C-alpha cells in the first residue's frame, strides 16, 4: 500500500471516529421512577454493554436510587447477580408500566466460576423495563406485582 493510500485510510477512520464520538444520540430524559408515591433516582441504561455491566462491582447504592434498564422489546429478560456485591430487588415492568414480577433481595454472587454458581432470575411475564434497587426496598415500601410505575 502506498503512503497516500495509508494516509487516506487513517484519515477516513479518524473522521468516522470523530463522528461516532460527537454525533448526537437519542437522549433518554428519565431521571426518576415513581412507585406508590416513592421516588427512585435512576441511572438509565439502554445499550447492550451498559446493560451487561449493570450494577456489577458497586459496593454501595444510595437509598432510593437504582438502575433502569430500557429494552427495545417485550420479553422475559433474565438477570443474574454475577460480580454484584450488594443484594438487589429486581423489578420487571411491562409496556403498560405495570409491575409484572419482582425478585426480592437477590443475593450477591462473586463466585469464581460464575456461570456455574450464579442464579439467573427470569420473570413470570414479559417486560419492557427492569428496575434494580437495593435489596428489601420493595418490602420496605410496600411495592408489589400489579403496582403501576411512572417515569419522570
Highest mean pLDDT among 5-19, 105-119, 122-136: 122-136
Structural domains for the chain? 28-151 (2.60.120.1140)
| Gap between the Cα atoms of 122 and 57, Å rounded | 22
The residue among 110 and 46 whose pLDDT is bigger is 46
CB atoms within 10 A of CB 59: 6
> Measured between alpha carbons, how far is 25 from 15 in angstroms, rounded to an integer?
17
- d(C-alpha 100, C-alpha 107), whole Å: 21
Confidence of residue 15 (pLDDT cuts 50, 70, 90): very low
What pLDDT shows up at residue 82? 87
Burial per residue of 114-135, b for 16 or more beta-carbon CB atoms within 10 angstroms, e otherwise: eeeebeebebeebbbbbbbbbb
Amino acid at each position: 500500500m502506498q503512503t497516500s493510500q495509508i494516509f487516506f485510510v487513517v484519515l477516513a477512520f479518524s473522521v468516522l471516529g470523530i463522528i461516532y464520538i460527537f454525533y448526537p444520540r437519542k437522549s433518554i430524559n428519565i431521571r426518576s421512577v415513581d412507585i406508590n408515591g416513592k421516588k427512585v433516582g435512576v441511572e438509565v441504561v439502554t445499550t447492550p454493554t451498559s446493560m451487561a455491566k449493570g450494577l456489577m462491582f458497586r459496593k454501595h447504592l444510595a437509598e432510593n436510587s437504582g438502575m433502569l434498564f430500557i429494552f427495545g422489546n417485550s420479553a422475559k429478560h433474565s438477570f443474574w447477580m454475577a460480580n454484584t456485591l450488594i443484594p438487589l430487588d429486581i423489578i420487571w415492568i411491562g409496556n403498560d408500566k405495570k409491575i409484572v414480577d419482582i425478585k426480592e433481595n437477590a443475593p450477591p454472587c462473586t463466585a469464581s466460576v460464575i456461570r456455574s454458581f450464579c442464579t439467573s432470575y427470569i420473570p413470570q411475564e414479559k417486560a419492557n423495563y427492569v428496575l434494580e434497587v437495593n435489596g428489601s426496598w420493595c418490602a420496605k415500601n410496600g411495592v408489589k406485582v400489579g403496582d403501576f410505575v411512572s417515569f419522570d
